Amino acid sequence: KETLNSCVYYKIEHPKFAATISEFGGQLLSFTPKDNQNEPQNLLWLSESSPLDGSKPIRGGVPLCWPWFGPAQGDFVGEPQHGYIRSVPWSLINIVESDTSVEMIMQPNLTKELSQSLGLDVQVRYVFADTISIELTTTNTSTEAKPLSQAIHTYFALDNVNDHKVLGLNQIRYLDKLDNAAEVIQDGDVVITEHTDRVYLTAQDKVSLLNGNKNMDILGQGHDSIVVWNPWQENAKNMVDFDDQGYTNMICIEMANTQGLVLQPQQVHKLVQLIKP
Ligand code: BG6
């Protein structure tokens, strides 16, 4: 445990990997496998200009968006984009270490009033090994059906945005958020060459990210969408917390629920992203 600018970070140094998890946002910030064959490399992108003092959500790593994805709607209009939990401190509930893995369970410190008015509880379970498993579990604790949208908003590090590909989305329908959510069918692999903000409407369990000559599988469960985002040059410049050149080294690929998931009383839902370098 380390404190920096009054924020707490968990630093894990394991023979097989190193990882940093921020208490603020309950957010994974870095993950570096140590496989002896390759130069150790952080798989996640983190903006150097992101404040890390808890004043705003951390730009990079794996922000968790809950209990909505994108702008707040309906009764919640005016509340923060992507929900509450990326902007509050979390508590560590349990940590279990073994020769091969470290498991952490964390929960956001939401006020009682907020938890009650939401009628939803959430926790994250991380399992770090030679893979990263992120499991976001939501329980409807109320007596009414509750809508839920969410995302595991992973910022993957790219060596160079000019040499990457996302495989596995060919012929999938997506909503183009930059064109009034117009529906488009993906033609071929996804290669980002400009501002891109797309919600792929698919519950398929795997895409792959080709980063230069390295391949990484990204598996999902419990999602109805896969979001792909890169702000590109001008928008990166316009965000104070996004390094100006950062867009050349990142891509967000997010397992998400964006299409009207509803949890019945006592229903439990798991959204999972498994990253296999
Ligand atoms: C993506 C959304 O998931 O997150 C984009 O699809 C959004 O529309 C992006 O711009 C970043 O959001 P934020 O709130 O972290 O700036």
pTM: 0.98
Determine the pLDDT at residue 7.
85
Determine the pLDDT at residue 277.
94
Please identify every stretch of the chain with a pLDDT value under 70, giving residue numbers as ranges. none
- Report CA(104)–ligand 1 centroid distance (Å): 26
Determine the pLDDT at residue 40.
87
Q: Which atom of ligand 1 is nearest to the CA of 239?
A: 16
**To test the ligand 1 pocket, which listed residue (46, 47, 81) has its Cβ within 8 A of the most ligand atoms?**
81
Q: Which two tokens stand for residue 152?
A: 């595991």
Q: Which of 253, 250, 249, 204 is nearest to 228 (CA)?
A: 253
**Cβ(197) – ligand 1 distance below 6 Å:** yes
CB 28 within 8 A of CB 125: no
Determine the pLDDT at residue 27.
98
Determine the pLDDT at residue 124.
98
pLDDT digits (tens, 9 = 90+) for 152-202: 999 999 999 999 999 999 999 999 999 999 999 999 999 999 999 999 999
Give the separation between CA 156 and CA 46, rounded to whole angstroms: 9
Domains in the chain (CATH in brackets) are: 2-161+220-276 (2.70.98.10)
Q: Whose CA is nearest to atom 1 of ligand 1?
A: 229
Q: Which atom of ligand 1 is nearest to the CA of 81?
A: 14
- Report CA(70)–ligand 1 centroid distance (Å): 7
**Cβ(224) – ligand 1 distance below 6 Å:** no
- Report CA(14)–ligand 1 centroid distance (Å): 32
Could you tell me if the ipTM is greater than 0.95? Answer: yes
Let me know how many helices (H) and strands (E) the chain has, helices first: 2, 19
**Cβ(23) – ligand 1 distance below 6 Å:** no
Q: Which atom of ligand 1 is nearest to the CA of 256?
A: 3
Determine the pLDDT at residue 32.
97
Q: Whose CA is nearest to atom 9 of ligand 1?
A: 229
Determine the pLDDT at residue 239.
98
Determine the pLDDT at residue 81.
98
Determine the pLDDT at residue 39.
82
Q: Which long-range contacts (CB under 8 A, 24 or more apart) does 215-220 make?
A: 216/43, 216/156, 216/275, 216/276, 216/277, 217/275, 217/276, 218/154, 218/253, 218/255, 218/273, 218/274, 218/275, 218/276, 219/272, 219/273, 219/274, 219/275, 219/276, 220/255, 220/271, 220/272, 220/273, 220/274
